[in-house]
Structure 1
């Protein structure tokens, strides 16, 4: 199961967080742990260069994309290899939505569309879609034709 997906800015403020099957108290601990992990290790890392960690029998894959840090936490079948595949889909989708590796402002401007894409990629802690074209089709926002 994919336990957590977090996006944070360079100061460690959380932009998006999604926890699946994690109690609230434990989610707070994971949040602070991941932000500290990123602060310690992500300085000087190139865009989309993946870093891997293991903690309490779970796997963590994290990277930087523009001004945003991305963290994925998984266990069981979502080991570091599976999480790296999920991370690739997430980073390529965010780049497609933003048009380039995002600054924090651009990321927040595209927040709604990014959240829709994340819901199509990960649903209830499991990988749902990996094809970029299918994700684009599924998140198309159409105005209501009739009220």
Structure 2
């Protein structure tokens, strides 16, 4: 299950988060743990450099693109390799929505569209769609048969 997809800025402020299958009391723990990773690793990271970590038998894959840090947290079937696919799909969709590597301001301007993309990619803790064109069409609410 994909437990969390979280976006933050390089300073560690959470911009967007989606939790699946985690009780509310555990969410604060994960949020603070992921933000702590930002302070340790991502401040000097290059764009699209990927990092892997594990914590309490849970896998974490994270990267930075532009000014935005993206985290994917999973367990069981969603190991490092599966989370890499989630992370790649999420970051490419965000870049597609923003038309470039996002700054914090651009990310917040496109917040609604990014939320729609994220909902199409991860649904109830499972990876739904990975095709960027399909995600784009679903966000426009057009039938998939149209081109």
Q: Give TM-score scaled by structure 1 length.
A: 0.94
Which moved further from structure 2: 51-60 or 38-47? 38-47
Structure-2 separation of matches of 1:58 and 1:52: 11
Give the match for residue 127 of structure 2: 127
Which moved further from structure 2: 87-96 or 38-47? 38-47
* C-alpha displacement of 1:141: 5.4
Dislocated runs of 4+, deviation >6 Å: none
Consecutive unaligned residues in structure 2, runs of 5 or more: 143-147
Q: Give TM-score scaled by structure 2 length.
A: 0.94
Structure 1 counterpart SS, 2:85 = helix
Q: How does 1:1-147 map to 2 (within 5 A)?
A: 1-140=1-140
Consecutive unaligned residues in structure 1, runs of 5 or more: 143-147
Structure-2 separation of matches of 1:52 and 1:137: 31
Structure-1 separation of matches of 2:76 and 2:107: 31
* C-alpha displacement of 1:97: 0.3
* C-alpha displacement of 1:43: 2.3
CA RMSD of aligned residues (A): 1.0
What number of residue pairs does the alignment pair up? 142
Structure-2 separation of matches of 1:141 and 1:122: 17
